[in-house]
Amino acid sequence: MEPEIPASDYGEIEKLIASEDSPVGIDAKKTHVIIIHKLLQIEARLAKLENLVAGEDT
């Protein structure tokens, strides 16, 4: 399964996490922070949707 990421988004993310000091070419800490931040956003959105489905107000 290949994620469909627009080329412009891919390029921006690539620039954001790039690191010339890393042997693998990315800043692992920054990459993980971005991933965790996005997961927290998804979690908050999911909780909001679950509350809406349950008939609760957020």
Query: How do residues 8-28 score in pLDDT, each as one tens digit?
Result: 999 999 999 999 999 999 999
Q: What residues does each domain of the chain span?
A: 27-58
In whole angstroms, how far apart are CA 27 and each of 3, 5, 8, 36, 40?
21, 20, 20, 14, 20
Query: How do residues 28-49 score in pLDDT, each as one tens digit?
Result: 999 999 999 999 999 999 999 9
* 56 pLDDT tier (thresholds 50, 70, 90): confident
Q: Tell if the pTM clears 0.75, that is, is over it.
A: no
Residue among 18, 42, 21, 41 nearest 31 (CA): 18
